[in-house]
Amino acid sequence: MPQVIPAIVGLAGPSPTDEERRLFARLRPAGFILFARNLEEPDQVRALTAELRALAGRDRVPILIDQEGGRVARLAPPRWPAFPPAARFGAAYAAAPATAMAAARANAQAIGTLLTGLGITVNCLPVLDVPQEGAHDVIGDRAFATDPLAVAALGRAVLDGLQAAGVVGVIKHVPGHGRATADSHVELPIVSAPEAALETDLLPFHRLRDAPMAMTAHVLYPAWDAERSASVSPTILSRIVRGRIGFAGLLVSDDIGMQALAQGPDGATLAARARAVVAAGCDLALHCSGDVAEAREVLEALPPMSEETWRRLAAAMAWAQGPARWRTDDPPGSPPTLAELLDRRDRLLAEVGLA
């Protein structure tokens, strides 16, 4: 039997290359992640996701995407609908919380409906980071609000909307990226806040600790670990993420190709980074570049998935197929269309002057 490796990897283009097919047949990744370079038009995407399922040998393989809305949208106009950034719903929440939550839920269900129709099973959403004054704008309007209770409420609405569409949601970036004054894509952010202040950052993650999946932050928090960023810190992942937050689901690292990890003690090579995030407590290492040589380095560096990771992965994928926490008034067997969901969202936002 081919080994299944605890990693999620990207691809170079709109269909797997022969070299990628050979690699994934020998060392099957736990899942895949898609970017704009992989997405041309609906039939092509459906053919791609069908082939990825065949390569994985599983119907419910995690096929991830970052379809947040706003400036983070791998499926973008004019081919695909535009979705607003999270901050739009935060502004609505300040005026009318219940209306904003309903709008965020409809928006997420619309995103999920789009993804389901393309064979994409996991969306890296909601962003639960709580931005602070003076922080880098890498998060910016990707965050809902500066009030952690509003972030938690809107994050829950997004999870519910994704689940109603049959898509797995991913809370990110645990334990919180909102205070970072640097972009972890290019350098290691250091959050020097004392432990007591960081409780604000943890609150949304604690409220949504029953989420099926979470993504870590490549951020250094000296109050918890003075040497290693969260993604490679056994202390933070065990004591804070699994312990204080209480998250028990599938834990995925942020992209190990980001330069924040290159600056840590385990950052010399992608192989070392992959081993470091898994050794620290991440269930899966995420590698996004689509470079097949890099993907090979990552996959060859890791042992087969553990039984515990298999259990968490199966539970995460089953979450989207189970009964949704939140029920719509739509008649059974007649789910709303994408157009209907977009109209519902826009009508709700218009109620608070934010259409």
In this structure, which amino acid lies at residue 175? P
What are the φ/ψ torsions at residue 188 (nearest 5 degrees)? Answer: -85, 115
CB 204 within 8 A of CB 252: no
List Cα–Cα distances, 285 to 70, 231, 256, 277, 316, in angstroms.
Answer: 26, 10, 7, 6, 16
Cα of 315 vs its chain's centroid, Å: 16
CB atoms within 10 A of CB 332: 5
Strands, E, within the chain: which ranges? 3-10, 27-34, 63-65, 67-69, 72-73, 122-123, 168-174, 213-216, 250-255, 284-287
Which one is catalytic: 254, 255, 266, 283? 254
Q: For this structure, is 291 an active site residue? A: no
User: Alpha-carbon distance 346 to 106, whole Å?
Assistant: 9
CB 213 within 8 A of CB 248: no
What are the φ/ψ torsions at residue 239 (nearest 5 degrees)? Answer: -75, -40
Q: For this structure, is 254 an active site residue? A: yes
Q: Which residues pair with 28 in a beta bridge?
A: 4
User: Alpha-carbon distance 7 to 5, whole Å?
Assistant: 6
Residues labelled catalytic: 185, 254
